[in-house]
Amino acid sequence: MILYLIHGNAYYGGYGYEEHTFGIYTDKDKAEAAKKVVIEQLYEKEKDDDWSYVDDISDIEVEITEIESNMAVDITLGGYCE
């Protein structure tokens, strides 16, 4: 079974990156719909924040990663380190 992991950056206040998981779905269409909702919610939260660098909805970084269930994987989801 393929699982669809919705994940992305939830920190838009300058330097740094906070990778969040926003949901895991078994249906790709539901995952796509949920991704749109997450992007809209993050945009609404960040667009008027004085410390945020979000100027446009395209600045929001959310992805869907397909993962086969019951299999070992090593998938980098993102992050920030020095």
pTM of the model: 0.86
- Predicted local confidence at residue 82, as pLDDT: 63
Give the model confidence (pLDDT) of 56-66 as tens digits: 999 999 999 99
In the structure, how many helices (H) and strands (E) does the chain have? Answer: 1, 3
DSSP letter at 25? E
Residue with tokens 């939830």: 10
Q: What are the pLDDT digits (tens) for 12-62? A: 887 888 899 999 999 999 999 999 999 999 999 999 888 888 999 999 999
**Parallel, antiparallel, or unpaired: how do β-strands 2-9 and 19-25 relate?**
antiparallel
Question: In this structure, are residues 12 and 2 in contact, taking their beta carbons and an 8 Å threshold?
Answer: no
| pLDDT for residue 15 | 81
